[in-house]
C-alpha cells in the first residue's frame, strides 16, 4: 500500500523507500558553550517543531525542477508531512534547512533522470 509522505506547496513527491524518509518532532532549542567549557541546552517554551528528511534516487526532470524551485526560494512554504508517530499528514509552514542538489544521470536504457535529490525541512513556528 502506497502512502503519501510529503507534499511541498501542492507538489506531491514520489514515495521514498529504503529508510530515505523520516519525520519527527523535536524541541526547539539552542546549544550553548559556557565559559567554563560545559555545554547547556536552552529549550524554547513552547518549542516543538516538526523536522523531515527526504532522499530520492531517480526523479524525472519536470518533477525535480518543480521541487527544486520550491526548496530554493529561500522563503517558507506550505508542506504536508507524514510523521513517524501517526498515519495522517500534518500541514504547516516549513523551510528548507539543507539541500543536496541532485546530479544528472541516465538509466540503463538511456532515459535521463535527476539522481540523489536530498533535503531537510523544519517547521517555521513551534506548534506546541
Rounded distance between C-alpha atoms, residue 123 and residue 91, angstroms: 10
Q: From the CB of residue 102, how many other CB atoms can be counted at a distance below 10 Å?
A: 21
The answer to whether 124 and 76 are in contact (CB under 8 A) is yes
Grid cell in block for residue 98: 539543507
Asked if residue 1 belongs to a domain, the reply is: no
pLDDT tens per residue across all 128 residues of the chain: 457 899 999 999 999 878 899 999 988 777 778 888 888 877 767 789 999 999 998 899 999 999 999 999 999 999 999 999 989 999 999 999 999 989 998 888 988 899 999 999 999 988 86
pTM of the model: 0.84
Helices marked H in 1-128: 61-71
The total number of structural domains in the chain stands at: 1
- The beta strands (E) that lie in 60-124 are given as 77-81, 90-100, 103-106, 112-123
Domain of 32?
6-123
Cell reading at 87? 498515519
- The answer to whether residue 51 sits within a structural domain is yes
Amino acid at each position: 500500500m502506497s502512502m503519501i509522505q510529503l507534499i511541498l506547496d501542492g507538489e506531491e513527491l514520489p514515495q521514498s523507500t529504503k529508510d530515505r524518509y523520516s519525520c519527527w518532532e523535536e524541541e526547539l532549542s539552542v546549544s550553548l558553550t559556557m565559559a567554563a567549557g560545559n555545554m547547556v541546552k536552552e529549550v524554547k517554551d513552547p518549542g516543538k517543531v516538526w523536522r523531515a528528511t527526504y532522499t530520492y534516487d531517480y526523479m524525472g526532470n519536470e518533477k525535480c525542477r518543480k521541487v527544486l524551485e520550491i526548496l530554493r526560494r529561500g522563503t517558507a512554504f506550505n508542506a504536508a508531512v507524514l510523521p513517524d508517530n501517526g498515519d495522517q499528514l500534518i500541514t504547516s509552514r516549513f523551510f528548507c534547512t539543507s539541500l543536496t542538489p541532485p546530479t544528472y544521470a541516465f538509466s540503463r536504457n538511456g532515459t535521463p533522470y535527476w539522481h540523489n535529490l536530498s533535503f531537510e525541512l523544519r517547521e517555521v513556528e513551534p506548534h506546541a
